[in-house]
C-alpha cells in the first residue's frame, strides 16, 4: 500500500496513476488517484526491484 504524502489516502500500485505525467514515459513516481499528488514508490518496492535486477549474475 502507498500512503499519499499529501492527503493521506491509501492506495495500491494498481489504483495509483503510474508515471509523473511530465516525462511521457513510465517513471518511478505513482500519483494518488484522489488528489494526483506525486508519491515516490515505496522503499519495499524499490528493494524488490533491486533484487530482481541486481541478482542476474
- Maximum Cα–Cα distance for the chain, whole Å? 42
Distance CA 27, CA 32 (A): 15
Binding of Zn ion by 37 (CB under 5 A) = yes
Is position 39 an interface residue for Zn ion (rule: CB under 5 A)?
A: no
Q: Does residue 35 belong to the site contacting Zn ion (CB under 5 A)?
A: yes
Instruction: Examine residue 32 and tell whether it contacts Zn ion (CB under 5 A).
Output: yes
Shortest spacing between CB 49 and Zn ion, in angstroms: 23
Provide, rounded to whole angstroms, the least separation between the CB of residue 44 and Zn ion: 19
Amino acid at each position: 500500500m502507498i500512503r499519499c504524502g499529501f492527503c493521506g489516502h491509501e492506495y495500491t500500485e494498481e489504483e495509483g496513476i503510474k508515471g509523473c505525467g511530465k516525462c511521457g514515459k513510465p517513471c518511478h513516481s505513482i500519483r494518488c488517484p484522489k488528489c494526483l499528488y506525486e508519491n515516490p514508490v515505496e522503499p519495499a518496492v524499490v528493494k524488490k526491484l533491486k533484487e530482481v535486477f541486481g541478482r542476474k549474475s
